[in-house]
Structure 1
Amino acid sequence: MSHVARTPPRSSPFAVSIALALLAGVVTCLWLPVLAPWGLSLVSLLAGVLAWAKPVQVASSAAMLRPWLLRHFGVFLCGLGLAGLHGAHALAVQLPAAFEKHEAVVHGVIVDLPQHDVRRTRFLFRVDADGSTLPVLRGRTLRLAWYDEERWERAPRPGAITANPPRPRHALKAGERWSLPVRLRAPRGLRNPGAADAEKYAVARRLAATGYVYAPGMARRLTVGTGIEAWREAMSARIAASVTAPSARFVQALALGDTRALDDRDWSVLRANGLTHLIAISGFHVGLVAGFFALLARGVWWLWPALARRWPATIAAALAAVLGALAYAAVAGFALPTLRTVLMIAVVAAAQAWRRPASAAQALALAAIAVILCDPLSVLGAGFWLSFLGVAWLLWCLPQGGHAVRQFLSAQRVATLGLLPPSAMLFGQASLAGPVANLIAVPWWSLVVVPLALIGLLLESLHAGAGAWAWRGAAWCFDLCWPLFERLEASGLALWWLPEARWFALPLALLGAFWLLLPRGTPGKWLALLLWLPLLWPDRRLPVHGEAELLAIDVGQGLSVLVRTRGHALLYDMGPAVHDGFDAGERAVVPALHALGVRRIDRAVISHGDNDHAGGFDAVRAEFPVDATQAPEGVGLPVATTACRAGQRWTWDGVEFEFLHPPPHFPYLANESSCVLRIRSAHGSVLLTGDIGEVIERDLARLYPHALRSDVVLVAHHGSAGSSDAAFVDATRPHFALVSSGHGNRFGHPKPEVLQRWRHAGARTFDTASGGALRLQLRAGGLRLETRRGAQPRWWDAARRP
């Protein structure tokens, strides 16, 4: 009997397992608290490439599996080193601390569609290779703002503004080259539960600095707009001029990815219905365009069969699909979701051209490898995970063939169950109306509205005015379903905000989704919902009876403090809402309250009427019901309030609250009238002081010589030199002194001598500017304080960099 020796199969260097190993290496690097030195990352990359490139044969024996494991470990090292090098470069291009707030004149081009707000215009600006008076800015990308003229009238800078009248900021257009006088700082953001990480965004986009045009009169336009961005802006303007219906803004978004005209109400409706992935040009739309170009090429080859002698029809269709997808990605401004789809299509086309057809799973793995190798920091974006996970779920769950309607319904079911866990973890919300809304919007917008919008673009590019009818048709079709989505959003049942979950909630929920999507007949499928509980109903870690928790929210140069007991929530101040469009209530306070699972505010205390304390109140009360509002008498706020007076006290869940200032009939004197609130529990006490100054502090120390002693004090007036009187500090003698201030604020808060005064009294000082949100627990185990940056350290965190 003869035996035929079998050659062990080779392990493909681009298998699905390879893609997972590469992704694991990148994710490990991105989650490290400290970035490895670039030399170590380079060694890791080179070693990983050598192990990846070495051929491996796999047999059933354990000995033959060792090379296979070595290759995958090498791929892991490759991802680790590549992400480390990209991360080091992203940090290296950022503005050094020595040049913070420096003024420079930069020459360059506007590389995106400028965002025109009420009082400012924001835009991305790429500096020319020799276009800056600061050499560190040459060739870098900046995020700039151009403010209205009255900003400079309120805060003049001697000698900075010339006699020339400022140029209107709305004259800025994409593709234009300008010479701009700017004042810059390294990218820096707020750090709060539930809020976006601006520093992570800056690293992913390789932004060198943020800043503003400080002298509009000195700005000069060098050339008019050119290139694809200028064409996009011109087409967007033609859509607005051609379509009189309000839905023209949605045609602009669906045709060009231009979402500048969408307001907060529009985004609220889209989020509530789970449609944000469709409103700008999505990967699905790119795939539709690629398929159309492929069919078009097939049709041409069918009409002229002789073309097949030079180019096979399959290769021509694949190449046409790539070119069509690339053109559509350019129309979208080369947004990341479109580029990922282009790479996927290019992988499939390459396999067709080389006559090595790849399975759908292999094509997805190749696309993931291509995306990671091109830009490993794209893994920081939510779109990366949602796009690849969505396709992976569909490939695994959907059978081939079958009725088209049944396939579509199955795809919606798979997408809803499979993407709910990552969406909830990434955005802290779930759309209960999403499955229904997507059943309508996906086919209608993608197969009717978007094609009409694109036909309008094509015709308008050939002849001015020729595409108006198609754009009007797209707007009319869009208006047929939009009122339904508005009603769903207004019902209050569409959007479900989820508290911030622990790290293990996502893998458990993904396992639950996997279990639910197993074939019919799998036992105990509904028990899989139990695995979703840590994500959908996480432990809110509420204090028990007699305990309290305090969160000093990072609102920049302002103040907002959340105090929670077992069943109540008090919000002390709401941060600033300034003229340039920044609203801390919307950007910081509301996301933090959602992330902590707050459903209503039992009492809102506005310490006094200054904007940096009361400005965000409108955004907060628009999102949460507020049972009672208190403020100093005579504050003059446009909302109904009851006066906070010394001696008022109440008890919640075993925790006592008492106002110490202002006394009855005290005239309103802005900072000096701040409501001073003392909180006492069985496990510690807190004193919230607002913006009172030394005079009021000395008066409190005289009135309450013993009762003023507190374990935690919120340092008055952000640590200004006019507060933290020595007698007051001596009377309180806290363990912790907390400061709420903005990083690099123009007042220099907190003053070093003030911090030293508190430290000399035995207090440990913490500042939101350096630590992010400050979370303090008054519990049976004692006082515990953690900073947001310390609890979740990241290597791109500006506070960790020298």
Structure 2
Amino acid sequence: MHAATGTSPRIGPRRIGWEPAIGLLAGAMLCLWLPWLPPRWSLIALAVAGVVLWWKLPRRVWIATALLGFGWAGVIAGSALQARLPSELEGRELVVQGRVDNLPEEDSKSTRFQFVVDDDIAQQEELRGKRIRLGWFAAPDQTPPQIEAGSRWRLRVKLKRPHGLRNPGVQDSERGMLVDRIVATGSVKGGDGNEELLAGTGIDALRDGIAQRIEQGSSPARRFIRALSVGDTRGLSDDDWTILRANGLTHLIAISGSHVALTAILGSALAWLLWRAFPVLGGWMPRRTAMMLAGALVAAFYTALSGGEVPTLRTLLMMASVASAVLLRRRMGAVQALAIAAIALTLIDPLNLLRPGFWLSFSGVAWLSWCLREGGRGVLREFLGAQGVATLGLLPLSMLFFAQASWVSPLANLVAVPWWGFIVVPLSLLGVMLDGLHHGWGAPLWNLAAWLFDAAWPLFQRIAEWPFGQSRLPEASMWAWPLALLGAFWLLAPRKLPGKPLALALWLPMFTPLQPAPLPGEARMQMIDVGQGQAILVRTAHHAILYDAGPATDDGYDAGATVVLPALAALGVDRVDLMMLSHADADHAGGMNAVLAGMTVEAVQAPPGAPIEVDTHCKLGDHWNWDGVAFEVVSPLPESDYAGNPSSCVLRVGVGDHALLLTGDIDQATERALVERDPAALRADVVSMPHHGSAGSSSDAFVHATGATWAIASAGYRNKFHHPNPKALARWTGAGTRVLDTPHAGSVRVDLSAAAVIVATERTRRKRIWDSEH
């Protein structure tokens, strides 16, 4: 029996196949998705028990590997979390020495890069051998420093623990930093003490050098050839990514398994040519073995050169498994090779399971293996079938990970897959190989690849402009995506399976917001976590107000595009009736243009005299009622001159005896004027702290006039202004008010009804093991 299956009794498909792989993945994901980790000793015990049972109980192997996956994932995650920068080192100036890791990203204001600290030389032993993420910002009227990939430096830095914004939806940068083993982020301090010790060397320097040589040409598509050749996406603009996402083509730009397979074919072809040209080599090694070995070596080198992302590692491991089976004269199918790759990547680093690319890569191959296993349908039908399977089968995961869906993706992929995948990419990779033999030899192929890419790019630009081509999706229940996955299985199952139209109903929960609109007579406030700035959504049953739009900074960061719009989509908001900008400062109004470009906004409002173009002005006495909820502007005075922060629009939202008060950046002088004019208008259960909780706001008189139960500050983690200030916090807590701030709470939700006021925080709602403990 074992001879028939081509496996040995000890290392058979039951022990290393889809059953143990599924058990390992399920156990690891269960652990990684817990709100906290169990004790380390219990995790080690589970992992050891899993190893023993894996060997002893082949008929229940999935139970054994689930135990192993749970324990091993917990041990590795715990070690990664323990490696983070200690809190006592935050904000201190440190000297570090080490190597620039990966490819630095440059713009006109700064250079950002990853930095691996030497494991034997560091001012602080807590950083030895660890990876940090740094930004080196240029002084005014200067350009940022040139940082070579692979170069070695001694730097003066200020660091903080990994911290990310937390909002409804899929964004979670803290998870990404944990997976990438980023133990701290920070900035390089200017002045003396920063010194380059050694120019760039190693695989990253080689990769950067190839990218720079590709860039030496006139075609604007060179930026895409860099991405397709060595995974260098630094040249792609936000507009480029918008077009790619709208067409559902981002998977083709990223270095994928097909790239590795092509390089393996090129390596095997080179070995074939050598063995044909020099038959004497056959006496040293059989030609078939040489072809396999050359293909594997070239593929392994290219995997390292392109950054070693999960899809490339998956392909490399699958190829190595099949090649080993052939050399050992055993049979191995695609499913078992895929399972071996999944088991290997999970055991090497269980945190790989937190990468969307892991699931998209493995699921894509699994879908194709299952749906196209019969074959014999002709090349064209196989190609069309593969596109349909990939689009439909991966759509639930794409919706889960990226909260968006491209409905024109099948059409765009019908053009892009053969054009890019069979022509542009092979030319680009062949150019890399020739460039490796001699610098400059690859230029003609890169030029041709860029020209061919340019020929098709206008088509995708036009497709991206089609209405309803792409949809942002609301945050749905966690049960929604397994149902959608089941629906996909149902639709892609053999034709004889009945009731396929009913399978479409299983997709409906993916389009249903987890947080439906409030009922009439109720209001909901969502203070979005935008860092050092402010954006607050207030919803009623049929209306929405966006109070401020988040910050935008000179270095290109725009919270309106990167935070506010995705958060609104996650909350199921596709139009805003009123965008009220409290005042014109960039930390409140910077995201305005991005929001206006990204969704329908009926009207924009700001204080009289504010230096921004709006439809109307907010002023004392404005009031209206939407869906049984009362809105009233309590500042500024209609005849007042615009004075920046003190002129902020102050909005009161009332439901019965309960109210919210949104205060912008008013100062204590404005607060006193409001208290003297009409203290009753300030009564509220929940108040957004004036000016992010600065020391020059939240006066005692104002705090007591509000009588607030809750006060919430929107601020950035360890911001340079030290918001919220301890003195302001003390004034609120001294009055019996409970305080929250977005750095610690994430996005804050307040449900307001005539009966109650309910406050909830995003970090509590979705507690994860990687959440910052500050």
Q: TM-score range by the shorter chain?
A: over 0.9
Match of 1:120 in 2: 110
Distance 1:339 1:419, change over 3 A: same
Question: How many Å separate the matches in 2 of 1:81 and 1:316?
Answer: 40
The CA deviation at 1:560 is: 0.9
Match of 2:6 in 1: none
Question: How many Å separate the matches in 2 of 1:313 and 1:483?
Answer: 45
The CA deviation at 1:397 is: 0.6
Match of 1:25 in 2: 27
Is contact 1:713-1:737 (8 Å) kept?
yes
1:263 aligns with 2:265: no
The Cα offsets for residues 147-177 of structure 1, whole Å up to 9 and x where unpaired, read as 11129xxxxxxxxxxxxxx8x5342111111
Is contact 2:50-2:67 (8 Å) kept?
yes
The CA deviation at 1:313 is: 5.1
Match of 1:63 in 2: none
Distance 1:351 1:216, change over 3 A: farther
5+ residue gaps, structure 1, are: 1-7, 57-67, 152-165
Question: How many Å separate the matches in 2 of 1:197 and 1:325?
Answer: 32
Match of 1:354 in 2: 328
Is contact 1:687-1:710 (8 Å) kept?
yes
What amino acid is aligned across from residue 466 of structure 1 in structure 2? W
Question: How many Å separate the matches in 2 of 1:724 and 1:92?
Answer: 38
Match of 2:747 in 1: 773
Is contact 2:103-2:149 (8 Å) kept?
yes
Between 474-483 and 320-329, report the one with greater CA deviation.
320-329
SS of the residue corresponding to residue 546 of structure 1 reads: coil
Match of 1:248 in 2: 222
Is contact 1:104-1:132 (8 Å) kept?
no
1:422 to 392, 397, 400: 397
SS of the residue corresponding to residue 219 of structure 2 reads: coil
Match of 1:187 in 2: 162
Match of 2:177 in 1: 202
Q: How does 1:39-438 map to 2 (within 5 A)?
A: 39-54=41-56, 56=58, 68-69=59-60, 71-150=61-140, 169-241=144-216, 243-297=217-271, 311=285, 314-398=288-372, 399-438=374-413
Is contact 1:314-1:352 (8 Å) kept?
no
The CA deviation at 1:309 is: 6.5
Question: How many Å separate the matches in 2 of 1:290 and 1:462?
Answer: 17
Is contact 1:315-1:352 (8 Å) kept?
no
What amino acid is aligned across from residue 504 of structure 2 in structure 1? L
SS of the residue corresponding to residue 53 of structure 1 reads: helix
Question: How many Å separate the matches in 1 of 2:720 and 2:419?
Answer: 52
Question: How many Å separate the matches in 2 of 1:470 and 1:11?
Answer: 43
What amino acid is aligned across from residue 45 of structure 1 in structure 2? A
2:628 to 654, 677, 684: 654
Between 320-329 and 514-523, report the one with greater CA deviation.
320-329
Distance 1:380 1:777, change over 3 A: same
What amino acid is aligned across from residue 21 of structure 2 in structure 1? A
The CA deviation at 1:97 is: 0.3
Match of 2:695 in 1: 721
SS of the residue corresponding to residue 551 of structure 2 reads: coil
Match of 1:500 in 2: 475
SS of the residue corresponding to residue 355 of structure 1 reads: coil
Residue identity (%): 49
Distance 1:647 1:780, change over 3 A: closer
The Cα offsets for residues 29-62 of structure 1, whole Å up to 9 and x where unpaired, read as 1011111232222222111111112253xxxxxx
What amino acid is aligned across from residue 101 of structure 1 in structure 2? G
Match of 2:540 in 1: 565
Q: How does 1:677-688 map to 2 (within 5 A)?
A: 677-682=651-656, 684-688=658-662
The CA deviation at 1:587 is: 2.3
User: May I ask how many residue pairs the two structures share in their alignment?
Assistant: 765
Question: How many Å separate the matches in 1 of 2:441 and 2:270?
Answer: 22
Distance 1:730 1:649, change over 3 A: same
The CA deviation at 1:280 is: 2.6
1:473 aligns with 2:475: no
1:616 to 573, 591, 608: 591
Is contact 1:28-1:80 (8 Å) kept?
yes
5+ residue gaps, structure 2, are: 1-8
The Cα offsets for residues 692-719 of structure 1, whole Å up to 9 and x where unpaired, read as 1222222222222333221211111111
Between 375-384 and 131-140, report the one with greater CA deviation.
131-140
The CA deviation at 1:303 is: 7.0
SS of the residue corresponding to residue 111 of structure 1 reads: strand
The CA deviation at 1:453 is: 1.3
Is contact 2:96-2:157 (8 Å) kept?
yes
Question: How many Å separate the matches in 2 of 1:780 and 1:713?
Answer: 17
Question: How many Å separate the matches in 1 of 2:437 and 2:294?
Answer: 21
What amino acid is aligned across from residue 39 of structure 1 in structure 2? W
What amino acid is aligned across from residue 125 of structure 1 in structure 2? F
Q: How does 1:523-602 map to 2 (within 5 A)?
A: 523-538=498-513, 540-602=515-577
Question: How many Å separate the matches in 2 of 1:195 and 1:117?
Answer: 27
What amino acid is aligned across from residue 133 of structure 1 in structure 2? Q
1:444 aligns with 2:419: yes
SS of the residue corresponding to residue 680 of structure 2 reads: coil
Is contact 1:738-1:766 (8 Å) kept?
yes
SS of the residue corresponding to residue 600 of structure 2 reads: coil
Match of 1:675 in 2: 649
Is contact 1:708-1:732 (8 Å) kept?
yes
The Cα offsets for residues 75-128 of structure 1, whole Å up to 9 and x where unpaired, read as 111111111111111112211001001111211111111101231111111111
Distance 1:626 1:11, change over 3 A: closer
The CA deviation at 1:743 is: 1.7
Question: How many Å separate the matches in 2 of 1:200 and 1:419?
Answer: 22
1:640 aligns with 2:630: no
Between 382-391 and 307-316, report the one with greater CA deviation.
307-316
The CA deviation at 1:448 is: 0.7
What amino acid is aligned across from residue 493 of structure 1 in structure 2? F
What amino acid is aligned across from residue 185 of structure 2 in structure 1? T
The Cα offsets for residues 261-294 of structure 1, whole Å up to 9 and x where unpaired, read as 1101100000000111111321122122223434
What amino acid is aligned across from residue 473 of structure 1 in structure 2? L
Question: How many Å separate the matches in 2 of 1:363 and 1:642?
Answer: 63
Between 289-298 and 381-390, report the one with greater CA deviation.
289-298
Is contact 1:97-1:186 (8 Å) kept?
yes
Question: How many Å separate the matches in 2 of 1:571 and 1:422?
Answer: 30
The Cα offsets for residues 10-29 of structure 1, whole Å up to 9 and x where unpaired, read as 87211211001100111011
Distance 1:321 1:743, change over 3 A: same
Between 716-725 and 299-308, report the one with greater CA deviation.
299-308
Question: How many Å separate the matches in 1 of 2:689 and 2:113?
Answer: 37
The CA deviation at 1:216 is: 4.6
Question: How many Å separate the matches in 2 of 1:580 and 1:265?
Answer: 17
The CA deviation at 1:321 is: 2.9
